[in-house]
Amino acid sequence: MNRVLMASRANLSDIAKALGVSVATVSNAMSGKGRVSQELGRAIREKAKELGYVPSLAGRALSTGRSHVLGLVLADIGHPLFPQFAQAIEHAASEAGYGVLIGDSRGDVEAQSRAIDRLIERGADGIVVVPRHGTRIADIGRPVAVIDSASTPGNTVAADHWNGGVEMGRHLLELGHRSIAIIGLHSDSNVQNDRIGGIREAFFGKGESRLVWIGEMERSLGSGCPLGLVRLVEEGVTAFAAVSDLHALRAITELQQGGVSIPADVSVTGFDDLIWAGVIAPSLTTMRMNMERIAEIAIADLIWQIERLNAAETAPALPAPRHPGRVPMQLIMRQSSGPVLGRSALGDRASVHVRSASSTATDPA
Partner DNA sequence: CTGAAAGCGCTTACAG
4 binds DNA (CB under 7 A): no
Q: Which is nearer to its own copies, 111 or 331 (CB)?
A: 111
Q: Which stretch binds DNA (CB under 7 A): 16-24, 73-81, 112-120, 335-343?
A: 16-24
- Among residues 12, 26, 36, 69, which is the contact residue for its own copies, using CB under 8 A? 69
Cα–Cα dist 69/93, whole Å: 9
Shortest Cβ distance from residue 120 to DNA (Å)?
14
Q: Which is nearer to its own copies, 41 or 55 (CB)?
A: 55
Q: Where are the beta strands (DSSP E) in 271-363?
A: 286-288, 326-327, 330-332
Cα–Cα dist 69/58, whole Å: 11
Residue 273's region, left for phi above 0, alpha for psi from -120 to 50, else beta, is left
- Of residues 41 through 80, those in contact with DNA by CB under 7 A are 41, 53, 55-56, 58-60, 62-65
322 binds DNA (CB under 7 A): no
For residue 286, with 0-12 CB atoms within 10 Å meaning exposed, 13-18 middle and 19 or more buried, which class applies? buried
349: number of Cβ within 10 Å: 15
Cα–Cα dist 301/325, whole Å: 11
Shortest Cβ distance from residue 44 to DNA (Å)?
9
- Return the biggest CA–CA distance within the chain: 90
309 binds DNA (CB under 7 A): no
58 binds its own copies (CB under 8 A): yes
Shortest Cβ distance from residue 15 to DNA (Å)?
8
Shortest Cβ distance from residue 102 to DNA (Å)?
24
- Of residues 339 through 358, those in contact with its own copies by CB under 8 A are 355, 357-358
87 binds DNA (CB under 7 A): no
- Among residues 78, 236, 321, 339, which is the contact residue for its own copies, using CB under 8 A? 78
Q: Which stretch binds DNA (CB under 7 A): 23-31, 80-88, 227-235, 352-360?
A: 23-31
User: From the centroid of its chain, how far is CA 82?
Assistant: 6
Cα–Cα dist 190/263, whole Å: 29
DSSP 285: B
- Of residues 208 through 267, those in contact with its own copies by CB under 8 A are 223-224, 226, 246, 249-250, 252-254, 256-257, 261-262, 264
Q: Which is nearer to its own copies, 202 or 277 (CB)?
A: 277
Q: Which is nearer to its own copies, 77 or 150 (CB)?
A: 77
Contacts 24+ apart (CB under 8 A), 41-47: 43/19, 44/15, 44/19, 47/15, 47/18, 47/19
In order of 47, 134, 281, 363, the CA distances from 277 in angstroms are 51, 27, 9, 28
Torsion of CA 230, 234, 170, 340, to 10 degrees: 110
- Return residues touching its own copies (CB under 8 A): 54-59, 61-62, 67, 69, 72, 77-80, 82-84, 86-87, 90-91, 94, 99-104, 106, 118-119, 121-123, 223-224, 226, 246, 249-250, 252-254, 256-257, 261-262, 264, 275-276, 278-283, 335, 355, 357-358
